[in-house]
Amino acid sequence: MLLDQKIFSLEEKGKNYMDTVRILNLDIDNFFQGELLEKLDQGIVFTPNVDHLINLQIDEDFRKIYDQADYKVCDSQIIFYIAKYLLKTPIKQRIAGSDFFPAFYEHHKNNENIKIFLLGAAEGVADKAKENINAKLDREIVTDTYSPIFGFEKSEEECAKIIDIVNNSEATVLAVGLGAPKQEKFICKYKDKFTKIKVFLAIGATIDFEANQVSRCPEWLSKLGFEWLYRLACDPRRLWKRYFKDLAFFGLVLKQKYNLYIEPFSDLYRYIIKRSEGPQIIPQGKTAVIQMPERLTVIEAVAFKEDCQALLQETSTLEKIVCDFSQTNFIDSSGVGALVSNLKQARAKEVELSLNGVTPPVMAVLELTGLDKVLAIDSSLQFTKSDLEEQLPTTHPSVRSWVKRWIDILGAIVGLLITAILYLPIAIAIKLNDNGPIFYPSIRCGWLGREFKTWKFRTMVVNAQELEGPNKDLGKGVFTHPDDPKITQVGRFLRKTGLDELPQFWNVLKGEMSLVGTRPPTPYEIANYEVSEWRRLNVKPGITGEWKIVDDRSQIKDFENIVKLDLDYQKDWGLLYDLRLIIRTIQIVFERLFAFPNKEETLENEH
């Protein structure tokens, strides 16, 4: 077993793994078996499988108990494959309880401080397992055994008896084979009463395997992920219902894959359940009061918009909607989007929309975005600039990263120096081309929808906006076609190489943009956003990003693909990830500089 582990470790050498892998509502510790054996000197070890994960969706006590385990390692080949191929967060190795337990006692065969108590299995089975293990190691590593009576967990007297028996033994390791969730609940409930035990192992049917009472699934079948099929064939009457119930696991991990999974027992889950029982709307004559949730993020924001729309459509006598924010202590860009959308709908119906009981974190966002100037707000809160910074929400780790900010400042200084060097030849080229202005100003929307002014070297003809005409689509337009006749000859070169955006380093230096981020939209675009699409604005916009360097540019002609790229960036963000995007952008700029004569589709923001 240890030799196999060494070989496996060599094969996997050089791969990067996360310390934990999130599967549904459980963080699984990511170890090779040898790593866990070396690390484990005390603590609780659970080995979650598919059935455990299904129970964790419906049993809140079981979920809380799992949090008490020091080590949670993957006991399922199916989970192993799901993590690797579907979720793209690979687990180093499947560590089944029935594999780990023999590896554990083999690892400690010469360690006199390790003495094991076997708790579980039918009468006489644990004794047989003890005999087999001790004979294999040629020493008394298993000191004692006990097989509890049926329903022992409901009897305080029987549980007290078990504790006394274990405490009177020499055991320092308690291996519990009582089946899930019984064994996990027993360990966590009584762990503090065992005076000598340092290591607790939840090992399921392993005692039966060690006693040769039950045959194990062939290894080749297990590695294919079909151990469940073998066990079902051996005991169909007992297991068919369990495995039928476990089919729900595949639907849940698909939801996780596409960010649709909501963790049971979380605040968001409880909010959705609460809302399903009826919206928190209190009618007061011609006024309706909406009680806002503690957190106004995408799910809650969509619900908030739906509630307002229902009120506006179904109530002809409504004159005023009051949003009670007295309990709300967090709002992100989706919440801002819901407020903007509801304000627009209310004004169209000539209904007043006002905010009451606004808390400091919410007020800080309203002031940042300028919504405090257009919304009726019953609040006397006022902030200095430093107070505003402190109250603003951490909508994404990148917005509070001082390292990212220093990288932005350094990059902006270098970028502005390059801009100063290239300004004269670019300005001369623009002037010689059509004698129009050198710069083109535009308003963009940044973090949380805050508007700011940005400048670019002009790439279109002077009267480009007039040529677009009154029927120009001001919705979710993303890119200008590279063959647009309004683009000047010099502008085509500047767009292709990205040099037109050099002045935006000034926005980066001011903190309105970042070197790497999401694509900065215009106010016309976000005016047509759905609430969920506002999530793009949970981070600062960037000069570059995934939307700028994607290989297959044809795939991002649709707005939905832009949103996906921006949300993927938020999910995958890290400082090394940013640096990789910066380096790739620099490479692309040089490639385009030297390949400009070749006809190639460009990827540039709309003028």
Higher per-residue pLDDT: 44 or 572: 44
Higher per-residue pLDDT: 281 or 422: 422
pLDDT band at 255 (very low <50, low <70, confident <90, very high): confident
User: What pLDDT is stored for residue 473 in this prediction?
Assistant: 45
461 and 590 together in one domain: yes
Position 182, amino acid: K
Contacts for 592 with CB less than 8 Å, ≥ 6 apart: 496, 497, 498, 600
Rounded Cα distance between 45 and 191, Å, is 12
365 and 280 together in one domain: yes
Min mean pLDDT across 518-527, 548-557, 576-585 is at: 548-557
Asked whether residue 545 carries a pLDDT value surpassing 80, the answer given is yes
Rounded Cα distance between 512 and 452, Å, is 7
Average pLDDT over residues 298-304: 88
Rounded Cα distance between 393 and 329, Å, is 9
Q: Kindly list the distances between the CA atom of residue 27 and the CA atoms of 66, 73, 78, 182, 358, in Å, as whole numbers in the listed order.
A: 10, 9, 16, 21, 36
Quote the domain boundaries for residue 496: 399-595
Asked whether residue 444 carries a pLDDT value surpassing 60, the answer given is yes
What pLDDT, in 10s, does the model give residues 31-77? 999 999 999 999 999 999 999 999 999 898 999 999 999 999 999 99
184 and 108 together in one domain: yes
* Number of DSSP helices (H) and strands (E) in the chain, helices first: 27, 19
Q: Which of 548, 547, 543 is nearest to 588 (CA)?
A: 548
Total count of domains within the chain: 3
Decide if 219 is inside a domain: yes
Min mean pLDDT across 5-14, 25-34, 246-255, 432-441 is at: 5-14
Rounded Cα distance between 364 and 499, Å, is 36
Decide if 471 is inside a domain: yes
* DSSP H or E stretch at residue 96: none
Question: What are the residues facing 455 on neighbouring strands?
Answer: 441
Where is the domain boundary, 378, 393, 408? 393
Rounded Cα distance between 177 and 195, Å, is 20
User: What pLDDT is stored for residue 492 in this prediction?
Assistant: 87
Higher per-residue pLDDT: 325 or 314: 325
CATH number for position 315 = 3.30.750.24
Rounded Cα distance between 363 and 386, Å, is 14
Report the residue count for the chain: 607
Average pLDDT over residues 298-311: 87
User: What pLDDT is stored for residue 343 in this prediction?
Assistant: 94
User: What pLDDT is stored for residue 14 in this prediction?
Assistant: 44
| Cβ atoms within 10 Å, residue 573 | 19
214 and 272 together in one domain: no
379 and 411 together in one domain: no
User: What pLDDT is stored for residue 465 in this prediction?
Assistant: 63
pLDDT band at 283 (very low <50, low <70, confident <90, very high): low
379 and 424 together in one domain: no
| Cβ atoms within 10 Å, residue 333 | 30
Rounded Cα distance between 407 and 400, Å, is 13
Higher per-residue pLDDT: 389 or 451: 451
User: What pLDDT is stored for residue 15 in this prediction?
Assistant: 56
Asked whether residue 4 carries a pLDDT value surpassing 50, the answer given is no
Asked whether residue 602 carries a pLDDT value surpassing 70, the answer given is no
pLDDT band at 279 (very low <50, low <70, confident <90, very high): very low
Tell the burial category of 453 from Cβ atoms under 10 Å away from its Cβ (0-12, 13-18, 19+).
exposed
User: What pLDDT is stored for residue 26 in this prediction?
Assistant: 92
Asked whether residue 102 carries a pLDDT value surpassing 60, the answer given is yes
218 and 305 together in one domain: no
Q: Kindly list the distances between the CA atom of residue 587 and the CA atoms of 201, 496, 497, 519, 592, in Å, as whole numbers in the listed order.
A: 52, 13, 11, 19, 9
528 and 489 together in one domain: yes
Rounded Cα distance between 23 and 214, Å, is 30
Asked whether residue 7 carries a pLDDT value surpassing 80, the answer given is no
Asked whether residue 207 carries a pLDDT value surpassing 90, the answer given is yes
184 and 131 together in one domain: yes
Mean of per-residue pLDDT scores for the chain? 84
Q: Which two tokens stand for residue 109?
A: 């065969």
Decide if 504 is inside a domain: yes
Residue 448 zone, left/alpha/beta (φ > 0; ψ -120 to 50; rest): left
What pLDDT, in 10s, does the model give residues 114-168? 999 999 888 899 999 999 999 999 999 999 999 998 888 888 899 999 999 999 9
Q: Is the dihedral of CA 228, 229, 230, 232 positive or negative?
A: positive
Rounded Cα distance between 144 and 169, Å, is 7
165 and 24 together in one domain: yes
What pLDDT, in 10s, does the model give residues 358-379? 999 999 999 999 998 999 998 7
Q: Which two tokens stand for residue 195?
A: 């005076």
Decide if 131 is inside a domain: yes
Where is the domain boundary, 393, 428, 462? 393
Where is the domain boundary, 207, 231, 255? 231
472 and 379 together in one domain: no
pLDDT band at 385 (very low <50, low <70, confident <90, very high): low
Rounded Cα distance between 388 and 90, Å, is 41
Decide if 532 is inside a domain: yes
User: What pLDDT is stored for residue 562 in this prediction?
Assistant: 79
60 and 165 together in one domain: yes
Decide if 29 is inside a domain: yes
Q: Is the pTM of this model over 0.85?
A: no
- Cα 32–chain centre separation: 24
Decide if 248 is inside a domain: no
Decide if 575 is inside a domain: yes
